[in-house]
Each structure stands twice: as C-alpha cells, then as structure tokens.
Amino acid sequence: MKFKTGEKIVSEAQATNAERIEAILSTSDFFRATSTRRTLVRRILATCRGVAVGGAVGAALLSRGTKSARAADDPVIDFGNAAVGAERIGIAFYSNALGQESPFGVASDLAKGTLLDSAHRTYFMAARNQEDTHRSVLQSLGLDFPFSVFGFPAGTFDSAAAMLAFGEQLESVFIGAYLGAIKVAANATNSFIAEAAAQIVGIECEHRVLIRDIASEDPPNDRFFEGDIGAPSSTLGNTGTRSTVYASAGDAVNALLALGITPLR
C-alpha cells in the first residue's frame, strides 16, 4: 500500500475543490467567462478558503435569481431565498434516506437498503413533511432559490452511520442559517420574517436531536445555547459545539456547498 504525503493530500484536495468551485461558478451568468471563474478559484484557494468554497460563491448562486425576486439585494429576502433552497435540500435528504424519490433529489442518491427501523422511518417521514411545509410557506411569500435539484456526496446514503453523520451536519447548517435570518430580520425590524424563522429553527433543532438520538449520541441534547452565548463545557447538556450563526445568506449557502452538496438544476 502506498501512502500519500501530507502535501500531496492537500494538493489533491485543492484540485478537487478547484474543480467543484469552477463547476458551481459556471452555472452563474456573473461568472460565464472561463478566465473570470479561474481567477476567482485561484484567489479562493490562495486564501485557504477552498474547503468552505469561498465567500463569493454563495452570493453568486443567490444572484442567479431575478432581481425582482431578490428585491434589490435585500439581506432579509436573500436569507428567505436561501431558506427555500435549504428546505429543498432537507426534503431531498430525508427522502433519499427513506429510499424514496423526491422532486429535489436524484435517483442515484437514494439509499440502496433500509437504513432505519420502522419507528425511525416515521421520524424521518415526519421531518420530510415538515421541511416541505416550510418550503411551501416560504414560497407562498414570493421567496425562491434558483436551483431545485441537488446531489449529495458519494457514500452519504450507503450506511446508516454515514447518513446520520451527514444529517447532523446538515441540520446544524440549517439552524445557523435561520439564526442568522432572525438576526438580520430583527435588525431590519421585519418582525414577521423574524418570527417565521424562529418558528422554523425550533423544528430544525428537533430534527438534529432526533438524528443524534437515532445515532445513539449521548446526550442527544448537548448544548445550553445554539449560538455564541456561553461556551461548551463538561456539564451534562452543554458539551456540544455551538452552531455558527451565519452573517449573510451567502455564507449559509457556502456552508451547504462545503458539505459537498451540489446544485444541479
């Protein structure tokens, strides 16, 4: 067996990130020119943000939507549009884990076997219904995301352990995104969106706890606060890493892309 050096692993990871970033950028009219895309990719990797897929990419994907839908770059609406994409991803995730097709996933990602027992399948079916209702309500407000179909990293649904680990990361991003939306909406005195985001984030927290419980993580409820109030400790119920509260919708989209989720169409 041949072992790769640390430098070679980093180099190969950088090359993979470069290919993925350029593929994402190529879907946006703002980065249609090959030279423009590759220059941005080099800058992203040079500043060590390749794994996070770079600060500009999430904003570029959101910019793919029409200006009328985005209300001239209103940060509250940007978060709402990103939330539509996140809910579609959530629907695809729970459907794939159940081995059931959805309008937002691809057939090749479906679980090939039964990953959950009957009780846990009920949890996931309920979670999928909740994500779909969130999506429907958000879209009824005129919000939208420019992509509807998403691919997941290879192996995500090959085993229960891989699927649950990914699901916990995914829900953590959702939680951080909605916390960011609450903060931005509150600053804009948009109490309706702030309240809607708060009601949704409570459900996303339930989803993560259920995933952690199914995975037998101890304890599944592992934090006193979601954001940066206080810090993790050895006290029972406060051992979990705090969620990132995303400052912008673009940052939240970047976090989803960094998990290896690919917007397809």
Nearest to 106 by CA among 154, 164, 176: 154
Task: Tell me what pLDDT residue 89 has.
Answer: 98
Whether residue 150 contacts residue 263, with contact meaning beta carbons closer than 8 Å, is answered with: yes
pLDDT, tens digit (0-9, with 9 covering 90-100), for 139-176:
999 999 999 999 999 999 999 999 999 999 999 999 99
pTM for this one?
Answer: 0.82
Q: What is the mean pLDDT of residues 196-217?
A: 98
Q: Maximum Cα–Cα distance for the chain, whole Å?
A: 60
Q: What is the DSSP letter of 85?
A: H
Alpha-carbon distances, residue 126 vs 22, 93, 100, 174 (angstroms): 36, 13, 14, 17
Question: Which residue reads 């009920």 in tokens?
Answer: 122
Q: For residue 229, how many C-alpha atoms fall within 13 Å in the half-sphere facing its CB? A: 5
- Contact between 169 and 233 under an 8 Å Cβ cutoff? The reply is no
What CA–CA distance (Å, rounded) separates 146 from 66? 9
For residue range 234-265, list pLDDT tens digits in order. 999 999 999 999 999 999 999 999 899 999 98
Gap between the Cα atoms of 196 and 178, Å rounded: 9
Q: What are the counts of helices (DSSP H) followed by strands (DSSP E) for the chain? A: 9, 2
Query: Does residue 200 carry a pLDDT above 50?
Result: yes
pLDDT band at 1 (very low <50, low <70, confident <90, very high): very low
Mean pLDDT, to the nearest integer, of 112-119? 96
Query: In the 8-state DSSP scheme, what is residue 3?
Result: -
DSSP letters of 163-195? HHHHHHHHHHHHHHHHHHHHHHHHHTT-HHHHH
What single-letter amino acid sits at 22?
Answer: E
